[in-house]
Amino acid sequence: MKTSVIIPVFNEAHNIPPLVRALKALGKKNQNMEILFVDNASTDGSADLLRQAALPNSKVLSEPRRGFAEPLNKALGEAIGEWFLFLDADAIPEPGWAEAMLASLSSNDLVVGQTVSSPMKKPTAYGKLAAKLFEGHSERTAHARGHALPWGPTCNLGARRSLVEKVGPFSPEAHGAFDIDWCWRAILKGARIRYCKEAKVQHARRNSREQLLEQFERYGAGEAWLHRTYSFLLAPEDQETNPIVATVEAFRRLRHQ
């Protein structure tokens, strides 16, 4: 069955060589696979590097509108596979990743792979903190530990085309919660989700204070959007409450506190 690997790219020139090496090895064992890179208006020559790599069965698409959802939606419109595998450009799949994801998708609609932090040559205190914060993250999300519903990050996610067509595109307005929102919509439509620890990728983490603050600022904006959009999960629609109390209660329920 044809598989589409979807990878958004924004200023990832330093991560492209190891990614291409991993994808070449992946392609040798999975002939019935296309790889779609979506350059999201990079300014560091990422798109040129990808074209020069001449990776078999790959395309380099372009999405000028910057964001998280936009490049993914661009790829969804071009993909020909029946199964979709999502990666980040700084997430390196380990041997057996695709096989494990596809095996899980044969009996599930949505699969969350195991994402571990890539080793850092010179980790700062912030790099060490980032690695600690994301330790076991993908397993927690897939089992809804700390969340209202299970989900999986698109740095290591698999979905059937039939589910994507049922759920629709990713929502740009969801900010940094675009993947949470999409997975929650899928779950609410009855999707079966599974965590697959055998499908492992190594994901680069932020190694500076500025990078980590920027990342969690995006998460904060996404969290606020989730509270507004999924209020029906948090309190009865006909219940009038103080907005401050409602916000606190929404946070507690979303985080299972």
Q: Quick one: pLDDT at residue 245?
A: 53
The pLDDT tens digits of the residues spanning 89-135 come to 999 999 999 999 999 999 999 999 999 999 999 999 999 999 999 99
Which amino acid is residue 30, in one-letter code? N
The pLDDT value given to residue 255: 44
User: 3 forms bridges with which residues in the sheet?
Assistant: 33, 83
Beta-carbon-side half-sphere exposure of residue 172 (alpha carbons within 13 Å): 7
Residue 75: what residue type? A
3 band by pLDDT with thresholds 50, 70 and 90? very high
Spatial separation of the C-alpha atoms in residues 38 and 71, rounded to whole Å: 6
Q: Which residues pair with 196 in a beta bridge?
A: 113
Residue 45: alpha-carbon gap to chain centroid: 23
Q: Beta partners for 159?
A: 84, 110
Pairing of strands 156-160, 110-117: antiparallel
Percentage of the chain lying above the pLDDT 70 cut: 90
Do residues 124 and 208 lie in contact, with contact meaning Cβ atoms separated by under 8 Å?
Answer: yes
Axis crossing angle, helix 125-133 with helix 209-229, rounded to the nearest 10: 30
Contact residues for 123 (Cβ-Cβ < 8 A; gap 6+)? 131, 207
Tell me what pLDDT residue 140 has.
95
Residue 235: the pLDDT is: 54
| Residue type at position 71 | P
Task: Look at residues 233, 42, 65 and name the one whose alpha carbon lies nearest to residue 144.
Answer: 233
**185-198 residue pLDDT tens:** 999 999 999 999 99
pLDDT above 80: residue 202: yes
For CA atoms 152, 143, 203, 99, give the dihedral sign: negative
d(CA 97, CA 198): 7
